[in-house]
């Protein structure tokens, strides 16, 4: 399993609200609910009560917003890494918030104050990925079929696809855990719809891009699912091929015809 850390998620490390929408994960909500959430006053990272005197007035140095942001960022990274490890070891449904915080070497107040609960943390981490993928989409939407064919004829990797696989590699440990058999079964289809479907829509001839006919929709669904399979297989097998190689593989698979040699 890849062990690299997320660099892209570092730019989106702001804490998500505790009442963020929670995805339908396999995590046991009963296990999470069964653990009493500590009062903010008992947490080492509790926020001061409204109207409290500034820390400087009581002789304690006040923390700047930048220091607080860095603290939240470090906590989120620690919780992310612990989540990945526990999913790989036990499966998403088989550990509690206490297990997660113990592995991250943080108290439960840090989890509850910043993310609400374990499902809130998972929703925040998945949302970070989706935001980054949506940003990549804006580059893809600038491409035309003519651009795609030019890269194909010249046997050059498309920069957009290289960037996509670079990003997937950065997030490889999280994606391996969350898209694997022990993770969140709802996340793979979200990646398919956000990325793979958009890739196919870009490659389609313009007259088919907004065609609602059933066969065109089946065509798009078929290739989008196939591309998700390519991404999943690459992650599951340790991402041995470079991003440039995978960009060429992705393009070759789309244009290969029955009877053609199965070579890159």
Asked whether the predicted pLDDT for residue 2 surpasses 80, the reply is: no
Question: Could you write out the DSSP letters of every residue in the chain?
Answer: ---PPPSGGGGG-SPPPTTPPPP--SS-HHHHHTSPPPPGGGSTTPPPPTTPPPGGGGTSPPPPHHHHHHHHHHHHHHHHHHHHHHHHHH-GGG--HHHHHHHHT--HHHHHHHHSSHHHHHHHHHHHHHHHHHHHHHHHTT--HHHHHHHHHHT---HHHHHHHHHHHHTHHHHHHHTSTTS-TTHHHHHIIIIIHHHHHHHS-HHHHT---HHHHHHHHHHHHHHHHHHHHHHHTT--S-HHHHHHHHHHHHH--TTS-S--
Which range among 46-60, 117-131, 175-189 shows the weakest confidence by mean pLDDT?
Answer: 46-60
**Residue 107: what are its φ and ψ, rounded to 5°?**
-85, 160
Q: What is the mean pLDDT of residues 33-43?
A: 41
- What percent of the chain has a predicted confidence (pLDDT) above 90? 50
Q: Is 94 or 32 the better-scoring residue by pLDDT?
A: 94
pLDDT given for residue 65 in this prediction: 55
CB hemisphere CA count around 209 (13 angstroms): 12
Distance (Å, whole) CA 142 – CA 255:
20
Q: Is 38 or 244 the better-scoring residue by pLDDT?
A: 244
Per-residue confidence at 261, pLDDT binned at 50, 70, 90? Answer: confident
pLDDT in tens, 163-173: 999 999 999 99
pLDDT in tens, 101-115: 999 999 999 999 999
Q: What average pLDDT does the structure give for the chain?
A: 78
Q: Please give the biggest Cα pair distance in the chain.
A: 79
Is the pTM value of this prediction over 0.85?
no
Residue with tokens 């470079």: 242
């Amino acid at each position: 399993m890849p062990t690299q850390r997320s660099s892209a998620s570092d730019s989106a490390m702001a804490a998500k609200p505790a009442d963020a929408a929670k995805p339908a994960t396999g995590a046991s909500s009963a296990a999470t609910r069964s653990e009493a959430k500590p009062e903010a006053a008992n947490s080492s990272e509790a926020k001061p009560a409204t109207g409290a005197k500034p820390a400087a007035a009581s002789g304690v140095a006040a923390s700047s917003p930048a220091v607080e942001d860095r603290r939240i960022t470090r906590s989120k990274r620690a919780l992310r890494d612990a989540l990945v490890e526990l999913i790989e070891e036990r499966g998403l449904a088989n550990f509690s918030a206490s297990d997660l915080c113990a592995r991250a070497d943080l108290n439960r107040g840090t989890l509850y104050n910043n993310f609400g609960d374990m499902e809130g943390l998972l929703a925040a981490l998945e949302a970070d990925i989706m935001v980054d993928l949506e940003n990549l989409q804006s580059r893809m939407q600038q491409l035309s079929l003519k651009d795609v064919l030019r890269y194909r004829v010249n046997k050059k990797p498309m920069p957009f696809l290289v960037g996509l696989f670079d990003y997937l590699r950065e997030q490889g440990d999280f994606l391996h855990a969350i898209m694997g058999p022990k993770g969140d079964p709802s996340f793979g289809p979200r990646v398919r719809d956000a990325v793979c479907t958009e890739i196919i829509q870009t490659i389609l001839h313009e007259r088919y891009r907004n065609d609602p006919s059933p066969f065109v929709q089946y065509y798009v669904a078929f290739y989008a699912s196939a591309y998700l399979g390519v991404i999943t297989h690459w992650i599951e097998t340790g991402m041995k091929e470079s991003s440039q190689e995978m960009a060429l593989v992705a393009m070759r698979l789309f244009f290969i015809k029955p009877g053609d040699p199965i070579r890159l």
